[in-house]
């Protein structure tokens, strides 16, 4: 079954499939299409929702959190067409990509099937209504949190990034296991829920949060907010931050540069309603769900959206991974150029690191500095689209593939972005080198000069975001000296061992979080070479 047929059938409610089984499935999926009147949101059946996210506050007596054996929602995910079908996308009529050399197209076997929903992961179900013109977002959020910390928890801490923007975040109500929870505090980015009863290890609880966001105007080329034709929603819903045995909840202070958030992987479902003329770029594929559009993303750090009524879209694929480039009028060559580079990047990274971790990749033009990565979605600065003159020797491609590499080094293998930012930033920067090495082998010297040595980098690779001084000094130390360290490490290890290390590192910490110790333990599993001089040269600590 062709994925394109399924999608078009679902969109216009005109099933054209001939197979009886598929037709039956489609009828089931489309039952709500038959009704001429708006239907209530159809909430997912793959997880038992223990609380209606649309419910008004009710005086339901407090139910103590049960043990996992009694309260565990049943995960009976129905197959997602896009992962069980062979995808043969029809090229967009506006897109005329030059066919890739055969060696650049990853074997479909190397591309990912998303992991199934995992009952021990935090599960988010969000119902959100976006008023694009009024810049408002109304959200009912249900969080199923399973205590894997090994200790009883008297509180749960959530990150609420929109609350850092004055007046943007309004909290209406919080529930725990269907009972209103009033013992909470919201202070800047930190929402602390003081639980009436401790949540025991290996127990689960269900939290409900109703909130509204008055989306702020984008400031200083920051991401979160609206401008004249686009709304970027990043880190927009409250999420439970990681908890560590030493130190407890992990929620670092923000900095003007560098990322301060740390995420565990989670399973996320978003049901979104917005205007018919609004095009949404998202971290996951869209499925019709009555009058809602549903997105499901498994094993990811965060779910990200960008909405515009002016997006143009170019589309391609690598194996089963659908890649879409969202750009604006006047930037067609750049929008298609970065799509072509993305196909090359996903192909080579899937072969050299690990299968691509998600079902889709969205590349979104927006008004920011440089670029920014999220699971299944990357933003790239509009300036780079404007500067694009074709080819691969430019910021659009080098920064673009950097952000795409973060799908592996941030998304698949997480880390503490504030205290050990080199683990994702050094890796993403060196992945640019790998992109050029395999796709444009004659551009190696150009890349080192253009992206690294032009800035005469100095500083220690293991610099936290709080110790870097200026943005330039921080990136010189972490990103650029990091690239030189990786090159020296590779020469010391030999190519075969180096690439074996990269694959092993991605596999060992897949959907987890790696630390500095994890990085070097994996390196040393692949070489017996003495690294002490490299450590002295590049790192402030000895590992």
Stretch that binds Zn ion, among 159-167, 279-287, 308-316, 422-430 (CB under 5 A): 422-430
- Least gap, CB of 354 to Zn ion (angstroms): 18
Q: List the interface residues with Zn ion, window 508-537 (CB under 5 A).
A: none
Is 179 near Zn ion (CB under 5 A)?
A: no
In the complex with Zn ion, the residue whose CB is nearer, 191 or 396, is 396
Compare residues 141 and 425 and give the one whose CB is closer to Zn ion. 425
What is the maximum span of the chain, computed from C-alpha positions, in angstroms?
72
Residue 195: name the closest of 171, 209, 211, 179 by CA.
179
Q: What angle do CA 46, 47, 52 make, to 5 degrees?
A: 120
Residues 478-507 that bind Zn ion (CB under 5 A): none
Would you say 421 and 406 are in contact if contact means Cβ atoms under 8 Å apart?
no
CA distances from 11 to 8, 127, 429 (A): 5, 20, 39
If binding means CB under 5 A, how many residues of this protein chain bind Zn ion? 2
**Binding flags for Zn ion, 426-445, as an x/- string (CB under 5 A):** --x-----------------
The residue (of 350 and 415) whose beta carbon lies closer to Zn ion is: 415
Q: Rounded to the nearest whole angstrom, what is the least distance from the CB of residue 402 to Zn ion in the complex?
A: 5
Compute how many other C-beta atoms are within 10 angstroms of the C-beta atom of residue 20: 8
3-state per-residue secondary structure call for 60-128 = CCCCCCCEHHHHCCCCCCCCCHHHHCCCCCCCCCCCCCCCCCHHHCCCHHHCCCCCCCCCCCEEEEEEE
Please tell me the distance from the alpha carbon of residue 188 to that of residue 163, in angstroms, as a whole number: 6
Residue nearest to Zn ion (CB): 428
Comparison of 65 and 304: residue with beta carbon closer to Zn ion? 304
Answer whether 336's CB lies under 8 Å from 314's CB: yes
Q: What x/- string results for residues 11 through 50 when contact with Zn ion is judged by CB under 5 A?
A: ----------------------------------------
Stretch that binds Zn ion, among 146-154, 173-181, 420-428, 503-511 (CB under 5 A): 420-428
Measured from the CB atom, is 160 or 428 closer to Zn ion? 428
Residue 54 Cβ vs Zn ion, minimum distance, rounded to whole Å: 38
Contact 100, 317 (CB under 8 A): no
Burial degree of 331 (CB within 10 A; 0-12, 13-18, 19+):
buried
Least distance between Zn ion and beta carbon 401 (Å): 11
Considering the complex, what minimum distance in angstroms separates the CB of residue 373 from Zn ion? 6
Going by their DSSP bridges, the two strands 179-180 and 279-282 should be labelled as unpaired
CB 302 within 8 A of CB 241: no
Please give the residues from 88 up to 117 whose contact with Zn ion meets the rule CB under 5 A: none
Which listed range, 154-162, 200-208, 227-235, 421-429, lies at the site for Zn ion (CB under 5 A)? Answer: 421-429
Report the residue number, 269 or 424, with the smaller CB distance to Zn ion.
Answer: 424
Of 244-252, 262-270, 419-427, 459-467, the segment contacting Zn ion by CB under 5 A is 419-427
Letters for 286-325 (x = contact with Zn ion by CB under 5 A, - = none) are ----------------------------------------
Distance in angstroms (rounded) separating the CA atoms of residues 468 and 521 = 26
Minimum distance from residue 56 beta carbon to Zn ion (Å): 43
Using CB under 5 A as the criterion, which residues of the chain lie in contact with Zn ion when the complex forms?
425, 428
């Amino acid at each position: 079954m062709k994925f394109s047929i399924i999608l078009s059938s679902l969109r216009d409610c005109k099933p054209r499939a001939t197979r009886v089984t598929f037709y039956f499935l489609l009828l089931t999926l489309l039952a709500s299409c038959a009704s001429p009147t708006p239907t209530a949101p159809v909430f997912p059946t793959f997880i038992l929702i223990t609380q209606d996210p649309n419910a008004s506050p009710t005086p339901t007596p407090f139910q103590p959190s049960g043990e996992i054996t009694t309260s565990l929602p049943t995960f009976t995910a129905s197959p997602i067409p896009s992962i069980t079908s062979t995808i043969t996308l029809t090229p967009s009529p506006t897109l005329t990509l030059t066919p890739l050399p055969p060696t650049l197209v990853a074997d479909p076997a190397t591309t990912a099937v998303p992991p199934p929903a995992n009952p021990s992961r935090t599960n988010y179900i969000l119902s959100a209504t976006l008023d694009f013109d009024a810049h408002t977002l109304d959200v009912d959020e249900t969080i199923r949190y399973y205590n894997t910390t090994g200790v009883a928890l008297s509180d749960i801490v959530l990150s609420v990034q929109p609350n850092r923007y004055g007046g943007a975040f309004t909290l209406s109500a919080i529930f725990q296991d269907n009972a209103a929870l009033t013992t909470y505090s919201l202070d800047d980015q930190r929402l602390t829920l003081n639980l009436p009863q401790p949540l025991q290890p290996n127990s689960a609880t269900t939290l409900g949060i109703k909130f509204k966001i008055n989306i702020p105007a984008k400031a200083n080329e920051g991401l979160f907010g609206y401008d004249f034709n686009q709304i970027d929603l990043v880190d927009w819903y409250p999420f439970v931050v990681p908890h560590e045995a030493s130190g407890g909840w992990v929620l670092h202070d923000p900095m003007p540069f560098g990322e301060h958030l740390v995420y565990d992987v989670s399973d996320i479902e978003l049901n979104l309603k917005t205007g018919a003329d609004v095009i949404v770029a998202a971290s996951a594929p869209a499925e019709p769900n009555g009058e809602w559009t549903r997105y499901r993303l498994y094993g990811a750090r965060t779910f990200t959206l960008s909405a515009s009524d002016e997006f143009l879209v170019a589309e391609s694929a690598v194996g089963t991974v659908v890649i879409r480039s969202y750009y604006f009028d006047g930037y067609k060559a750049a929008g298609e150029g970065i799509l072509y580079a993305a196909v090359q990047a996903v192909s080579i990274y899937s072969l050299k690191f690990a299968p691509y971790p998600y079902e889709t990749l969205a590349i979104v033009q927006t008004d920011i500095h440089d670029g920014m990565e999220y699971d299944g979605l990357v933003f790239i600065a509009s300036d780079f689209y404007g500067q694009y003159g074709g080819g691969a020797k430019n910021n659009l491609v080098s920064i673009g593939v950097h952000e795409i590499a973060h799908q592996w080094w941030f998304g698949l293998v997480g880390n503490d972005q504030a205290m050990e930012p080199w683990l994702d930033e050094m890796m993403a920067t060196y992945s640019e080198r790998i992109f050029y090495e395999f796709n444009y082998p004659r551009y190696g010297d150009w890349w080192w000069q253009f992206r690294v040595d032009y800035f005469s980098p100095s500083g220690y690779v293991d610099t936290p975001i709080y110790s870097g001084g200026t943005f330039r000094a921080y990136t010189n130390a972490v990103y650029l000296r990091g690239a030189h360290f990786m090159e020296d490490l590779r020469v010391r290890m030999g190519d075969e061992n180096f690439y074996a290390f990269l694959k092993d590192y991605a596999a060992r910490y897949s959907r987890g979080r790696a630390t500095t110790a994890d990085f070097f333990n994996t390196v040393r599993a692949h070489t017996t070479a003495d690294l002490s001089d490299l450590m002295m040269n590049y790192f402030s600590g000895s590992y």
